[in-house]
């Protein structure tokens, strides 16, 4: 693993970080501009689709015979991003586990605050089940807010009596909108992208006057019992480090099988930079292996927690 790669990426991200005082429309414009300069791999096809009345992007990879389905939830603190902008990262999961990906274009705040995103994610999953897709052939995945939303959707589906997917993969999950994690301060200087101030400015857009500690807003406060296995990845150079660590702890306490995979020296959703960062491709490979192993099992999750902690120190 290359310290030079990490250093170059850090410098690039610091130059492209959103100003703290920028509004939603400006942040959306900057994100669109950034994504427009990152073309998809030539073997990835993205087409507009719909699940349960919710717009999605259907992502396929040439040469990959889909045996499974990934329901993907993009990041963007619930106010930014879209299903198509997440297609590259989503496709990396699909190619590793032999799956078709549906990236969900859930409604965004402040125009559509909570529970719009939660409702849309659940509607998309229900549509997969209605279409005859076995839950054992489905995994949820998401980054940042999408990682938190993936866990919230598991909780919502469980509470509504729906069969649950085989597993969920959360990259740098934004799981606590009360922003109570100690790493909000301890990782302030290390994080090239995120800060408490940037996040705080958007919390009200999504929560819209509701308590940010509601379990479906901040799944770190939810009852996670009965959920399928969780794979949680995070870097040490991000203010959301504690969101991931605490979420894994809450899951383990609830007897959920959880793998917490921490990579030193990398930023928020570092998997996005798989083309230029060795650690990113390696993390996606590890997640792909765990997801594939879970999909190969047909029995429901057992009652005993099995927590694996992976700390990738090969690059230190």
Maximum Cα–Cα distance across the chain: 50
- Model pLDDT, residue 13: 79
Please check whether residue 175 is in contact with residue 218, taking contact to mean a CB–CB distance below 8 angstroms. yes
Q: What is the mean pLDDT of the chain?
A: 91
- Contact call for residues 75 and 81 (beta carbons, < 8 A): yes
Q: Which ranges of the chain does DSSP label H, i.e. alpha helix?
A: 3-16, 24-36, 87-97, 116-130, 145-159, 183-186, 196-207, 241-253, 278-295
Q: Six-digit token pair at 253? A: 């306490």
Give CA–CA dist 128/164, Å, rounded. 12
Specify the pLDDT at position 10. 83
Average pLDDT over residues 25-30: 85
User: In whole angstroms, what is the distance from residue 227 CA to residue 285 CA?
Assistant: 23
Look at residue 58 and give its three-state secondary structure: strand
pLDDT reported for residue 28: 83
Give the start-to-end residue ranges of the domains of the chain.
3-311
Predicted TM-score of the model (pTM)? 0.91
Q: What is the CATH number of domain 3-311?
A: 3.40.50.1820
**How many whole angstroms separate alpha carbon 224 and alpha carbon 227?**
6
Least confident of 2-11, 129-138, 263-272: 2-11
Positions marked catalytic: 144, 238, 268
CA distance 52 to 113: 19
**8 vs 279: CA distance, rounded Å:** 13
């Amino acid at each position: 693993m290359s310290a030079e790669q990490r250093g170059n990426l850090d410098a690039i991200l610091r130059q492209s970080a959103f100003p703290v005082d920028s509004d939603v429309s400006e942040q959306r414009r900057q994100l669109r501009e950034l994504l427009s300069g990152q073309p998809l791999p030539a073997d990835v096809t993205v087409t507009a689709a719909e699940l349960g009345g919710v717009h999605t992007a259907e992502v396929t990879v040439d040469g990959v015979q889909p045996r499974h389905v990934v329901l993907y939830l993009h990041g963007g603190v619930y106010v930014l991003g879209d299903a198509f902008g997440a297609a590259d990262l989503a496709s990396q999961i699909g190619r590793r586990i032999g799956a078709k990906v549906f990236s969900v274009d859930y409604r965004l705040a402040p125009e559509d605050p909570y529970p719009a995103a939660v409702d849309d994610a659940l509607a998309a999953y229900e549509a997969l089940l209605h279409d005859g897709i076995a839950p054992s052939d489905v995994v949820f995945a998401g980054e940042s807010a999408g990682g938190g939303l993936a866990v919230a959707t598991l909780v919502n589906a469980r509470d509504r009596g729906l069969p649950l997917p085989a597993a969920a993969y959360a990259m740098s999950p934004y799981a606590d909108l009360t922003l109570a994690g100690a790493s909000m301060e301890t990782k302030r200087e290390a994080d090239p992208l995120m800060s408490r101030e940037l996040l705080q400015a958007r919390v009200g857009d999504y929560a819209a006057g509701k308590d940010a500690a509601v379990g479906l807003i901040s799944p770190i406060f939810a009852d996670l019992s009965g959920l399928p296995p969780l794979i949680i990845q995070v870097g040490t150079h991000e203010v959301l480090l504690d969101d991931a660590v605490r979420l894994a702890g809450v899951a383990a306490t609830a007897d959920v099988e959880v793998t917490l995979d921490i990579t030193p020296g990398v930023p928020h959703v570092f998997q996005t930079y798989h083309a230029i960062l060795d650690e990113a491709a390696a993390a996606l490979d590890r997640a792909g292996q765990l997801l594939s192993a879970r999909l190969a099992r047909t029995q429901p999750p057992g009652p005993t927690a099995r927590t694996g902690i992976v700390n990738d120190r090969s690059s230190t």
